[in-house]
A and B are shown apart, each in its own frame.
Chain A
Amino acid sequence: MTVQAAPLQKKSSGELPDRVFRSAITACGLSVLALLVLIVYELMSRSSLSWHAFGFKFFATSDWDPVNEQFGALPFIFGTLVSSLVALIIAVPLSIGVAVFTTEMCPKVLRGPLSFFVELLAAIPSVIYGLWAIFVLVPLLSNYVEPFLGKTLGWTGIFVGPAYGIGMLAAGIILAIMIVPIISSITREVLMVVPQNQREGVLALGATRWEMIRVGVLRNARAGIAGGIILGLGRALGETMAVTMVIGNRPEIAKSLFAPGYTMASVLANEFSEATGDTYLSALIEIGLALFLVTIIVNALAQLLVWTVTRGQPARGHV
């Protein structure tokens, strides 16, 4: 039986469509890079007015006076950093605990549902967190938690003042609830990459389960866990709605966590659409630029850390 090969000229007729297809697809790929360039370009060109007017002083002064066109972003930077820091202090131990429990301790049957529930937290829109925080978390804080903290830890100076409920502490707590799924899902991924024989080796030396986790697992996964934490930080820094709804929105720098504050993202949310005057708008966009740069650096750092552990898999906490 002889087989007739198909005429080869057919191949050459496929070349042009192939080239068109390849350039179209490459253009789509380029659009991702273009998107980054577009963001940087728009933010920089539209904030130049404020940059020329205030220079570095913009980030070091705390007057925010739209009427007299005096703009200093320090209270917002302070609020963003403090609320994110509070969130990390609460979320990091919880997230690592959940990740350790799901990968190392819990029965196999529970593993799936448990990670599903934790990831369900990531699917709730920010505005619903804010809604819940206003009507449940804030009253809880002002009636019970803040009076208690004031009585027991008031001497530290960071838990003093009237217990409004609304303020830096509320923002930090709601942020913590929101970033736990990110940190814990990445920590879980990283822990699962730790080779099984590391665990068996440590157990064979007579370690208890906790010693095995501490020495054999957590120590090996340090870089990846750090990546997850930084990714959570990135999310906390840029989170807008829930924070805006509970932080109190007052551009002040206060030592107490009970006091109202303001963050970079919230001032954009509240004032951007009402900004009258070019300098005002430009100052707000400059805050956006600063927020963008900080989150880009933080995220790039986190991606690199997670990549070194999981070898090229993306960090998926936010999907």
Chain B
Amino acid sequence: MSEPMASVHVVVPPVSLRRRVTDHAMTAVAVSTVVIVLAPLIAIFGYLLYRGIGSINWAFLTQTPKPVGEAGGGMANAIVGSVFILAIASIIGVPFGVGAGIYLAEFGRNRFGSAIRFTADVLNGVPSIVVGIVAYAIVVLYQKHFSALAGGVALALMMVPTICRTTEEMLLLVPQALREAAYGLGIPRWRTTLSIVLRTATSGVITGIMLAFARVAGETAPLLFTAFGNQFWNLRYNEPTAALPLQIFVYAISPYDEWHRQAWAGALVLIILIVTAVAAVRYVVRRGTFGAA
């Protein structure tokens, strides 16, 4: 290369054996990390299907738990209880979460907005059991007993920061020109935000809500001392209520084979509920609106 114009061939020195071996070795290491990480995933799903399918039956889906020692019974009350608690959580959590997300996207380009953004990200990392303590303090201590409402509040507290951030992201995807066009037509700001920006981003916002929903649906820790669990049917907001994750936990750590079997069946039902809820809403949303996301 030192003689100008003399040669157009650039001589690349051969890569030393040691460097080539290192290169291949590191590739092998990276591949093996992937294998090691995927192995438990396959093991968990495989074992869940294997134990779960063998244990699910009609009684499991339609009956309440039998006393210890008696075979049979099921988790019907826990399945319904979970849906009930999640409905309470969504009614409380979704409006606040979406509202906060709208604030961040439409009015939050300032320091105050950054503070909220940062707080929401940090709140996302608060251990769920701590959220459970807060729900215990603000609901259970006033009602004087455990309740479905307390469980719902605990899960709602967890949903707000997550929904807030995903809503913001989705609203920011809506082109600025759409807002300007609306203002140009003389449409007031609130109308623009709700009927144009939010409407355009509906499918994305709902996807975010479903992600938050799926995340709290499997939560056990915040329900331990809020919803508490119940052996019987309950659909009153101020009574202790069974929940699927709670029931799985109680049965899993019990010494009875029959209960272990039901814990696996419950786990399979829980996973299926989470996956179908997310898939169903995604499907409906994609068909119903002109999707933005």
Contacts and interface: CB of A to CB of B under 8 A. Distances in A.
A144 interface: no
Interface centre among A35, A46, A298 (most CB of B within 10 A): A35
A180 B37 contact: yes
Given A39-B126, A42-B134, A121 B41 contact: yes
A314 B29 contact: no
Contacts of B22: 208, 210
B217 A292 contact: no
A217 interface: no
Contact of A93 (B27, B33, B191): B33
Given A36-B123, A299-B122, A319 B211 contact: yes
B26 A210 contact: yes
B34 A114 contact: yes
Contacts of B193: 21, 25
B220 A127 contact: yes
Contact of B130 (A30, A177, A291): A291
B68 interface: no
A117 B38 contact: yes
Contacts, number: 276
Interface string B54-95: 000000000000000000000000000000000000000001
A83 B162 CA distance: 27
Contacts of B175: none
Contacts of B95: 28
Nearest to A136: B47
Contacts of B129: 238, 240, 265, 268-269, 288, 291
A264 B27 CA distance: 39
Interface size class of A (residues with CB under 8 A): 35 or more
Contact of B228 (A21, A231, A273): A273
A46 B141 CA distance: 11
A223 interface: no
A28 B248 contact: no
Interface in A42-88: 42-43, 46
Contact of B133 (A20, A36, A43, A97): A43
Contacts of A265: 127, 129, 221
Interface of A: 6, 10-11, 14-15, 17-18, 20-22, 24-33, 35-36, 38-39, 42-43, 46, 93-98, 100-102, 105, 114, 117-118, 120-121, 123-132, 134-136, 177, 180, 184, 206, 208-211, 213, 231, 234-235, 237-241, 245, 265, 268-269, 272-273, 285, 288, 291-292, 295-296, 298-300, 302-303, 314-315, 318-319
